[in-house]
Chain A
Amino acid sequence: MSGKVRVLVIDDEEAVRETICENLEDCGFEMSEAIDGEHGLEVIQKSGQAPHIVITDIIMPKKEGLETIMQIRKQYGAIKLIAISGGGQAKAMDFLELAKKLGADAVLAKPLDMAELEKTVRSLVK
């Protein structure tokens, strides 16, 4: 792939969002961020170049992750999707399973292992 790989991070927790961005930036990716699904779709629409990868949290106040995944899948077939979830909710794993069924290319449970996230991102843009 020529040029930098563009990654969009959607998470309502600012600290988590920043941590992911800083880590992946440190590994050479070009990062952008959004605070929820609605904002995320806006960012994709407004950017001249759609991201290669979208990393999205699942449970968010405005337009939660599953809905976001479905919509991105429908509108932007080329974008690779990684769903992340902090679990806790009784059926956290089910959420991630569901995310997979709805079209997420990979799912990761929080707390995130950044090395694993980096590996996942790299494997998806190969």
Chain B
Amino acid sequence: MNNSPQVLVIDDDAVDREAVRRAVIRPGQNTVIHMAATGKEAIGLLQEKKFDCVFLDYHLPDMDGISLLRAVYDADTDLPPSPIVMLTGQGNEAVMADALRWGAQDYVVKDNISRDTLGIAMAKAREMFELKKSRRQAEEQLRQAQKMEAVGQLTSGVAHDFNNLLTVILGNTRILTRRLQPANGELSREDLMKKVQTIEISAQRGAELVRRLMVFTRQRAPKAEVVDINFCVQETAELLSRALGETVETRMVLNDGIWPVQVDVGQFENALINIAVNARDSMPQGGKLTIETHNVVVDDEYTFRHPDVVAGPYVMIAVSDTGHGMPPAIARRIFEPFYTTKPQGQGTGLGLSMVYGFIRQCGGYVHVYSEEGHGTVFRIYLPKLAGEGEAVVDNMPDALPGGSETILVVEDDEEVLAVAVKMLTQLGYKTFTAESGRTALEILKSERENISLVFTDVVLQGGMNGAELARKVQEYYPGIKILYTSGYTESAIPDYKLVEGTELIGKPYRKAALAAKVREILDGKQGETGHERESARARH
């Protein structure tokens, strides 16, 4: 075992090499100095041996120092194979910045080579290298542990599925065995064939289930790839629909022409499964899980309640459940690490915080919308890959259709109410506001002549929901038009009886979409507008 510090000096100038050697060796330490005069030679050494520190001159006969760094840089760990200190000329800041970018831990200006400077640089390089390496390893372990936790949550469903497949295999085998005894009579060739095929199909389904689990649990460095999100969702959903148990119905609404995005597929699947497992846990009596994909263009107005979001084109993946929902106090904290509402031992509280971390890393966002008793929607926004397809910019402010009518806005969330009023006011409309169905009816009593449209949230606190309000409006004030809004996606809206012929605009809505929808309803036009995906006719 050799405990002597191993140092590699990469420099083609013998004088410089000697200067470094002298500065590095310490009395009492058997430092072993390795030398390389060319980049090619150095790359070979770096790849075959670990060094405690490498001093790399920028000027080499066959390449520059940055090219060498890039050649040995490992993108997965963001590190070179060994700690590296770059040696540069005076005042070459660009090179220094590049060196750090490509994995070097430190740099020293050649004029300043001394025992002290190199000693400090070497200590710093080694420490930073080790810190980063162990942090990467810890992150990787956490990711894997998290994934295994998610898989663990799925195993009960998978076991159930396997037991069914095995029942079929064993049951058919038994018939074949029985009928092999002459006393029980022979089976026809056709029956024989059918039984053997059933066994084969079941075994293949089992193998496919194992394959999916293995794909999901494979350990590999995260790597962002350009992917078709619909394909990823489909692959995962198949595992999910089997694993979530029979009481959860998994539905998919995958729109065509979804923009490509760049994500690590494994982590994306992990995120979906995490959200799905949470959804399942919120539906102990069973229910529906809906996964949707949409292209959306986020404009400045979307920043209502979401000031962290950058405007632009995104692919939105919405996961809705019909579970018990959660109060705002929990929804606000749901992405916090170690925050869990599950009994001790049943959740680490890390699942959704990892989802959050991963999606932010991709330059995306994840938001949760939930009302107690009405289910939950997670919306994942992944930025559209730059330069792919054409983003539809339809939010030219001066092109928006406005009006001067008066609109009664009914919304129990103060912030959302404020934003709606702001948008409508900017479009020229006058507004009344109410935070409950009751208040809305009172306002209607006195202002019925002035109000042209009631714009109401579907889910309202205070005993009367938006659908009930709308029915009363239709009954008492048939001339007044109705527009619903809801934080639930069109496919997952709570099962209220919405008034026939009325329309709904999904939250969060863009100003352009609201402007178009309001004008369309006030003008009495029916039917959907082509460019707003989250609006839909009310259904029964």
Contact = CB atoms under 8 A, between A and B. Distances in A.
Contact of A16 (B164, B174, B175, B247): B164
A112 B247 contact: no
Interface stretch (B152-160, B477-485, B487-495): B152-160
The SS class assigned to the A binding surface is loop
A97 B216 CA distance: 34
B166 interface: yes
B247 A19 contact: no
A20 interface: yes
A89 B184 CA distance: 38
A86 B247 contact: no
B168 interface: yes
A90 B167 contact: no
B160 A111 contact: no
B171 to A, nearest CB: 4
Interface string A18-40: 01101100100000000000000
A112 B171 contact: yes
B286 A61 contact: yes
B170 A114 contact: yes
B228 to A, nearest CB: 31
B450 interface: no
B163 A61 contact: no
A88 interface: yes
A20 B171 CA distance: 7
Interface in A55-101: 59-61, 64, 86-90
B175 A15 contact: no
A15 B202 contact: yes
Contacts of A86: 159-161, 163-164, 167
A113 B171 CA distance: 7
A114 B171 contact: yes
Interface string A93-125: 000000000000000011111110000000000
A16 B163 CA distance: 10
B168 A19 contact: yes
A12 B171 contact: no
Contacts of A111: 162-164, 166-167, 170
A35 to B, nearest CB: 12
A88 B171 contact: no
Nearest to B166: A111
Interface in B204-231: none
A23 to B, nearest CB: 5
B502 interface: no
A112 B286 contact: no
A42 interface: no
A26 B179 CA distance: 9
B360 interface: no
A114 B174 contact: yes
Nearest to B191: A22
A19 B167 contact: yes
A22 B171 contact: yes
B164 A23 contact: no
Max chain B CB contacts within 10 Å: which of A19, A61, A89, A110?
A19
Q: For the side of the interface on A, what is the size category?
A: 20 to 34
A61 B167 contact: no
Contacts of B174: 23, 114-115
B198 to A, nearest CB: 7
B246 interface: yes
Nearest to B187: A26
A23 B175 contact: yes
B160 A88 contact: yes
Given A88-B156, A110-B163, A15 B168 contact: yes
Given A23-B171, A88-B159, A113-B170, A59 B164 contact: no
Given A59-B247, A61-B247, A87 B160 contact: yes
B246 A19 contact: no
Contacts of A88: 155-161, 163, 245
Contacts of A19: 167-168, 171-172, 198
A5 B156 CA distance: 35
B168 A12 contact: no
B164 A15 contact: yes
A64 B248 CA distance: 13
Given A13-B164, A61-B286, A110-B163, A89 B171 contact: no
A88 B168 CA distance: 17
A84 to B, nearest CB: 9
A110 B246 contact: no
A61 B246 contact: yes
A113 B170 CA distance: 7
Nearest to A110: B163
A59 B245 contact: yes
Contacts of B166: 110-111
Contacts of A114: 170-171, 174
B26 interface: no
B178 interface: yes
B249 interface: yes
A94 B168 CA distance: 24
A52 B252 CA distance: 42
A13 B161 CA distance: 10
Nearest to A115: B174
Contacts of B246: 12, 59-61
Nearest to A118: B174
B247 A26 contact: no
18 contacts: A15-B164, A15-B202, A16-B167, A16-B171, A19-B172, A20-B167, A22-B171, A26-B178, A26-B184, A61-B286, A88-B155, A88-B156, A89-B156, A110-B167, A112-B167, A112-B171, A114-B170, A115-B174
4 tightest A-B CB contacts, nearest first: A88-B160, A19-B171, A111-B166, A110-B163
Given A59-B160, A86-B163, 20 more contacts: A15-B164, A15-B202, A16-B167, A20-B171, A22-B172, A26-B175, A26-B178, A59-B245, A59-B247, A61-B246, A86-B159, A86-B160, A87-B160, A88-B156, A88-B157, A89-B160, A110-B166, A111-B164, A113-B170, A114-B171
